[in-house]
Amino acid sequence: MVLNQSSFWTQANALFRKSLTFQKRNVKTNVRLILLPLILCVLLVLLQNLIDYLNDKTTVFKCGCVCPNQRETCDDSEKLCGVQYSDQTQAIFCKIPNPPEWPPLLQLPAVSCKKNQSCPFSMLFTAENQSFAQIVSDNMFPSAPTVDFSDIMASFYTNVLGSASLPGTTNFLEPGFTPDVPVYYLQTQCPQNNSGISFPYKIKGKTIQLDIRCGQGINFWRNSSDDINNEIYQSYKRKKSEGRINAIITAFDFLNSNDDAFDVTVWYNGTKKKGDVLSRVPRSINLISNAYLQFLCGPGTKMLFEFVKEMPKSETSYRINIASLLGGLFFTWVILQLFPVVLTSLVYEKEHKLRIMMKMHGLGDGPYWMITYGYFLVLSMIYMLCFVIFGSVLGLKFFTLNDYSIQFVFYFIYINLQISLAFLLSSVFSNVMTATVTAYMGVFGTGILSGVLFQSFIEDSSFPRKWLICMELYPGFALYRGLWEFSQSASMGTDGMRWRDLSNSTNGMKEVLIIMFVEWTVFLFVAYYIDQVLSTGSRKSPLFFLKGFQKKHLSSFKTKISIQRQGSNVLAHTGKPDVIQEREKVEQLLLQPTINHAIVCDDLKKFYPGRDGNPGKFAVKELFLAVPRGVCFGMLGPNGAGKTSFISMMIGLTKPSSGVAYVEGLDIRTHMDAIYTSMGVCPQHDLLWESLTGREHLLFYGRLKNLKGSALTQAVEESLKSLNLFHGGVADKKAGKYSGGMKRRLSVAISLIGDPKVVYMDEPSSGLDPASRKCLWNAIRLAKRDRAIILTTHSMEEAEALCDRLGIFVDGSLQCIGNPKELKARYGGTYVFTMTTSSDHEKGVENMVRKLTPNANKIYHLSGTQKFELPKEEVKIANVFQAVEVAKRNFTVFAWGLADTTLEDVFIKVARNAQAFDTWS
Ligand SMILES: *[C@@H]1O[C@H](CO)[C@@H](O)[C@H](O)[C@H]1NC(C)=O
Ligand SMILES: *[C@@H]1O[C@H](CO)[C@@H](O)[C@H](O)[C@H]1NC(C)=O
Ligand SMILES: *[C@@H]1O[C@H](CO)[C@@H](O)[C@H](O)[C@H]1NC(C)=O
């Protein structure tokens, strides 16, 4: 028998078209996918423009520039720029060609000195020669200020100025001269009313209001430098309540200096609050040197320390590049965004068992993997392409500066890695909601972790590189590292990343590319392996790729089975002639060179080994069955009888423990993939895509079954019409919006499309209203003309209406098999007579029945209602009517009836007998 097996490409085509339709339906996802990169790029551009605007227009970011000689306008080249021409603050990137000069200040300890109070500051000194040290120290602070308002600058350096503010990291701005920070001029005696002086002070273009107060500088002799040391140390510990002694500015040890030699140790407070802070030491050294000079040469001598001035600086990177600054984090999010989409889609097909459903209708693993993987790859590539194009068109340097070929390779490898990872993780999740939530949490967590933690590791050059590489094994970090490298290359004023930069040891891109490539291949392999071994519907052993080595094993297994077969021949199926007959038929069929029956089961068994101390159980035992084409075989049986186990074996979900079944002459143990192409399944629960319409479902499965062109459209139309899904636009409504009955009919339509030779239907009409059921039955009756249908049902009405043969399944084996009439005749053979009277006349009814036939059998009795089984051959219906007429004259008969045996009676009888036999044996 040559099967109309669809080719690899036909299957791939079918799946591809289905995926496209599916994607088209997911409007929300699509819109999000396209809009997110666009929105982020636009956002970045807007931010960049805002920053540029602020740079140019507002004072916050304005570099102070003025035209020379107070002119209103002038050329850019003429402008005088620098911190001194702007307000106090100035953007860090501005050029300062001519830094301002600042009066050198003395570092004063922090004191809270109110206005109008004298503010004492102490200075300690020691020396070998006390009288020498005393004379020199006395020269240090002037006794009265010498302020010359015509030359303020000169007044600053002739007086001793100090500030308690912390100095900055550069000398472009002296924090001591910010408003509200008092500057002290130190002298030996302060005026009685120390209100201070406040006056505007202009340094070149800049005017500040200076608030200068007097501070009293007092020198104290100490016996040794150890004393000084202790005193300074103690000053830390002294609490405010103990009363503050004079704050110590600084201390000097003149050692053995004298008229000829000057040798001095200077204490200064170098404790810093911020990182690199300049210390105001120079002024204190100048102070002491000046004092010594005056001691040597007289009070008129002055060694002036006029000003401090920072080195000029040119403009540093003028613009803040937002894309490069925030790019790493933003773009990580954009790219990771794809991950939940892929994962959710994979888990959806798993959760709704659609993968198995497709497999059972002939979709091979090869086309499935190729198309699904390729599909997500194309989707991701389009997404990335949009992203790069948007970014480039909007002029983000991140994209335009770096070599596009590096970008392509990086993104390409990453999206492959991401898809492989999604495939791998999809085997872990079984629920779409969990997968979605976990994936999005992963996306945002990764973004934030890499932006906050990982970035600081990258930037910290002392962090060991090998740990960095270890962290990059996590794909999210690898992605971030790559993007970070791009943004660094685009922002450092360089011309972007080129291939030759990859050999640079500080560039992490090479490692990232290697790590991602290796992970991609490993993940893909592991995902495929897990899919083959673990996923339901697959029947491969964990070592399936070692197939070659296992062959010997299998053949020895086969001989064992055949030996068992001869043994089992001895076991007679006593009292089941029809079952024995079926078995002989199967053995006859197997002797013929070709099997022309659609389904032949030869001694099929399914054994579930015991678990947790429970004994093992045969779910199916010694099943012989032959179903020719054109026949609908009905399987009846109580719950747990083994019907589902049998169907699972036949559709390839589980493997038989022993025995074999042939579908269209193909062995289900070895040729399941081929069998799938000529098989249709209508599972008990509808396995449908919520967002695809009925027509699209049928088109997809039709294509899988190798239908093409007009044959396909015609088959779909007919199928829709025959199951009453055609009118009122039902066919083009999404399956998610279908009622339960419509879904059921669609499932049946799917199982029948593409002319399968064998169809399994698991309770096809459950949950249908009577009208729909009639319609469904008609369709099945039409369909069974040239194919074999195996149908399980609990509805006797359905079994009688549809099935040509019936088998009643109890405890894993067939109890009887035959067409419904035969069964009824064999197991029925009786009429059921029912009569209801008042309870006084029960005896009379029984007597009447005994008169009709002594072999009558009372099967039911409850308050006046009795049921009897009357053997058909002993009773004539006319006699029954006569007897009832007579009885009616004698006593009141409320109701009576005479019925032929129904299939239901047969079923109950068979099931009961089998169970009784089981408990007895
Ligand atoms: C101490 O210094 C004073 C002042 O310079 C000097 O006159 C005196 O001789 C010095 N004494 C000693 C012991 O060197
Ligand atoms: C310093 O030395 C002098 C004389 O040697 C002594 O009187 C005084 O107590 C000492 N001061 C301290 C604080 O030790
Ligand atoms: C030294 O400077 C630090 C920081 O400004 C300050 O906290 C500390 O009190 C100062 N020490 C003395 C002895 O003044």
Q: Are residues 273 and 343 in the same domain?
A: no
pLDDT digits (tens, 9 = 90+) for 841-851: 888 888 888 88
Q: Are residues 36 and 155 in the same domain?
A: no
662 inside domain: no
CA 885 from centroid of its chain's CA atoms = 79
Q: Are residues 138 and 255 in the same domain?
A: yes
pLDDT digits (tens, 9 = 90+) for 293-302: 999 998 888 8
pLDDT digits (tens, 9 = 90+) for 558-607: 333 443 444 344 344 456 777 888 888 888 888 887 777 888 888 888 88
Q: What ligand has the least distance to the C-alpha of 262? A: 1
656-674 mean pLDDT? 84
Are residues 497 and 402 in contact, defined by beta-carbon separation less than 8 angstroms?
Answer: yes
279 inside domain: yes
Number of other residues whose CB lies within 10 A of the CB of residue 380: 23
- In which band, very low, low, confident or very high, does the pLDDT at 556 lie, cut at 50, 70 and 90? very low
185-189 mean pLDDT? 86
301 inside domain: yes
DSSP string, 784-839: GGGSEEEEE-S-HHHHHHH-SEEEEEETTEEEEEE-HHHHIIIII-EEEEEEEE-G
Q: Can you say whether residue 39 is alpha, beta or left, with left for phi > 0 and alpha for psi between -120 and 50 degrees?
A: alpha
905-919 mean pLDDT? 68
Residue 73 pLDDT greater than 70, yes or no = yes
Q: Choose between 62 and 376: higher pLDDT.
A: 376
356 inside domain: yes
Residue 623 pLDDT greater than 80, yes or no = yes
Name which of 249-263, 467-481, 532-546, 809-823 the model is least confident about.
532-546
Distances (CA, A) of 328 to 337, 479, 611: 14, 9, 53
Name which of 172-176, 457-461, 597-601, 824-828 the model is least confident about.
824-828
Three-state secondary structure call for residue 859: strand
Expressed in angstroms and rounded, the spacing between residue 246 Cα and the centre of ligand 1 is: 29
Return mean pLDDT, the chain. Answer: 80
Cα–Cα dist 165/579, whole Å: 106
Q: Is the CB of 648 under 6 A from ligand 3?
A: no
pLDDT of 567 reads: 39
Residue 795 pLDDT greater than 90, yes or no = no
CATH number at residue 851: 3.30.70.1150
pLDDT digits (tens, 9 = 90+) for 143-182: 877 766 667 777 788 888 898 888 888 888 788 877 677 7
Q: What ligand has the least distance to the C-alpha of 224? A: 2
Count Cα neighbours of 692 within 13 Å in the Cβ-side half-sphere.
22
Ligand 1 closest atom vs CA 130 = 1
Q: Specify the residue with its C-alpha closest to ligand 3, atom 2.
A: 271
Q: Are residues 212 and 357 in the same domain?
A: no
Strands 308-309 vs 679-682: parallel, antiparallel or unpaired: unpaired
Q: Are residues 294 and 421 in the same domain?
A: no
pLDDT of 560 reads: 38
Q: Specify the residue with its C-alpha closest to ligand 3, atom 9.
A: 236
Q: Specify the pTM.
A: 0.64
Ligand 1 closest atom vs CA 259 = 5
Q: Are residues 430 and 281 in the same domain?
A: no
Q: Is the CB of 111 under 6 A from ligand 3?
A: no
pLDDT digits (tens, 9 = 90+) for 306-355: 888 888 887 765 556 666 667 678 888 888 888 998 999 899 888 888 88
Q: Are residues 277 and 408 in the same domain?
A: no
Cα–Cα dist 467/410, whole Å: 22
Count Cα neighbours of 830 within 13 Å in the Cβ-side half-sphere.
19
Cα–Cα dist 14/397, whole Å: 42
> Which residue range(s) make up the domain with 345?
8-42+338-534
Expressed in angstroms and rounded, the spacing between residue 288 Cα and the centre of ligand 1 is: 18
- In which band, very low, low, confident or very high, does the pLDDT at 537 lie, cut at 50, 70 and 90? very low
Q: Are residues 267 and 355 in the same domain?
A: no
660 inside domain: no
Helices (H), 99-245: 130-138, 152-158, 225-237
Expressed in angstroms and rounded, the spacing between residue 570 Cα and the centre of ligand 1 is: 135
With CA atoms as reference, report the closest residue to 478 among 514, 443, 503: 514
pLDDT of 566 reads: 41
646 inside domain: no
Q: Are residues 349 and 300 in the same domain?
A: no
Expressed in angstroms and rounded, the spacing between residue 270 Cα and the centre of ligand 3 is: 8
Q: Are residues 347 and 301 in the same domain?
A: no
Q: Are residues 399 and 361 in the same domain?
A: yes
699-710 mean pLDDT? 86
Contacts of residue 549, defined as CB under 8 A and 6 or more positions apart, other chains included, come to: none
Give first-to-last CA distance, the chain, whole Å. 44
Expressed in angstroms and rounded, the spacing between residue 128 Cα and the centre of ligand 1 is: 10
Residue among 125, 126, 128, 129 whose CB has most ligand 1 atoms within 8 A, to mutate: 129
Q: Which residues line ligand 1 (CB under 6 A)?
A: 129, 131-132, 258-259
How many distinct structural domains can be found in the chain?
Answer: 3
Cα–Cα dist 680/598, whole Å: 13
693 inside domain: no
Q: What ligand has the least distance to the C-alpha of 221? A: 2
Contacts of residue 473, defined as CB under 8 A and 6 or more positions apart, other chains included, come to: 515, 519
631 inside domain: no
- In which band, very low, low, confident or very high, does the pLDDT at 442 lie, cut at 50, 70 and 90? very high
Q: Are residues 154 and 261 in the same domain?
A: yes
